[in-house]
Amino acid sequence: MKVLLVDDSGTMRTIQKRCLSKLGIEDVTEAEDGVQALERFEAGTFDIVLSDWNMPNMDGLQLLKEIRQRNKDIPVIMITTEAERARVVTAIQAGVSDYLVKPFTPDSLKSKLERWVTSNA
Amino acid sequence: MTSTTTGKSELTAEFVNPIIGSTISVFEMMLGCTPKRTGLSLKADHIPEHELSAVIGISGKAAGTLVLSLSKSVGIGILDRLVGISSDEINDEVCDAVCELANMIAGSAKAQLEHLEASISIPNIITGKGHTVHYPSNVSPICIAFDSEIGTFTIEAGFSDR
């Protein structure tokens, strides 16, 4: 299981990496924004993408659209503060696979990730 | 410095309850502690109460600024609670953790005000005693004071119509 983890916050990447590690996932490639993420997506092979929405240089929505132009099947999960219905609908229309709103409890993050990393293992 | 006598923006007031609810929710979920609101006032100046500020700009049908203002020790406590990393100084990790917390508070609050179609900026950190924060002109920011297990902090915010 190879994960591309995209968030401009190192704190948030650490929280998510620890959660993935508890699920036995250690092969995690990090990116700090959409531009860096797209470079790493094109250079590597991944099974799932976890992405923030609000980031400098290229946001998560644009990253999602770019990924969908290249790969329609890879699961892309948005983990973001963007909780408004209109934003969620926009992400769904752009092809997001799942959505987790920040803030989250450790259990809600774990169960969300568990569902996807288990089904794609 | 705070005051309870300056003019009050109705739009800013509309944000009060969402901000309070979001702050409590973010602290409970991410830090495992429940802050208690200890005060609500209008500020007479644009100087945050504490020396460390995470500043977020809001745009959309409302424009303004939200500040998470706290002391160095509370910032260090936030990093410790979020990721279990100890620090004895304000470093990049502390700033990042404080920014992320402010981002979640602002994001959660704006989600409760969907009709404003607001967007939030990437947070910035300002440090130092007596620093100022920019708010829209003629807006008196609100100051919501909290106490928590990791110390006291304030959320300060001011908004205007666009």
Q: For A3-119, which CATH class?
A: alpha beta
d(CA A42, nearest CA chain B) in Å: 26
Report domain extents, chain B. 2-150
- A116: confidence class by pLDDT, cuts 50, 70, 90: confident
In angstroms, the separation between the Cα of residue A79 and the nearest Cα of chain B is: 11
Q: What is the mean pLDDT of chain B?
A: 90
Q: Which of B30, B96, B122 sits opposite A103 (nearest CB)?
A: B30
Domain boundaries, chain A: 3-119
User: What was the pLDDT predicted at A65?
Assistant: 98
pLDDT in tens, A59-93: 999 999 999 999 999 999 999 999 999 999 999 99
pLDDT at residue B94, rounded to an integer: 97
- The pLDDT-based confidence of A38 (bands split at 50, 70, 90) is very high
Cβ separation B104–A10 shorter than 8 A: no
**Which among B7, B3, B31 is positioned nearest to B105, based on CA atoms?**
B31
**Separation between Cα atoms, residue B131 and residue B54, nearest integer Å:** 12
Asked whether residue B9 carries a pLDDT value surpassing 80, the answer given is: no
- Nearest by CB to residue A103, choosing from B29, B96, B110, is B29
Residue B10 has pLDDT above 70, yes or no: no
Searching chain B, which residue's CA lies closest to the CA of residue A9? Answer: B96
| Tens digit of each residue's pLDDT (9 = 90 or more) over B94-115 | 999 999 999 999 999 999 988 8
- Per-residue pLDDT tens digits for B64-84: 999 999 999 999 999 999 999
Question: Quick check: A90 contacting B, CB < 8 Å?
Answer: no
Q: What is the pLDDT of residue A28?
A: 97
CATH tag, B2-150? 3.40.1550.10
Per the listing, tokens 């169960």 go with A111
- Confidence (pLDDT) at B146: 98
The verdict on B47 touching A (C-beta cutoff 8 Å) is no
User: What is the rounded average pLDDT of the residues A4-33?
Assistant: 95
Note whether B33 contacts A: Cβ–Cβ < 8 A.
no
Residue A47 phi/psi, 5-degree rounding, is -100, -25
Give the whole-angstrom CA distance, residue B154 versus residue B146.
6
Q: How many angstroms away from the CA of A100 is the closest CA of chain B? A: 13
Counting every residue written for chain B, the total comes to 162
Q: How confident is the model at residue A118 (pLDDT cuts 50, 70, 90)?
A: confident
Please give the radius of gyration of chain A, using alpha carbons only, rounded to the nearest integer.
13
Measure the CA–CA gap between B73 and B16, rounded to whole angstroms.
Answer: 26
Q: What pLDDT was estimated at residue B125? A: 97
For the record, the structure tokens of B59 come out as 């745009």
Structure-block tokens of residue B29: 């979920």
- DSSP string of B118-134, one letter each residue: -EEPPPEEEESTT----
Residue B40 pLDDT > 80: yes
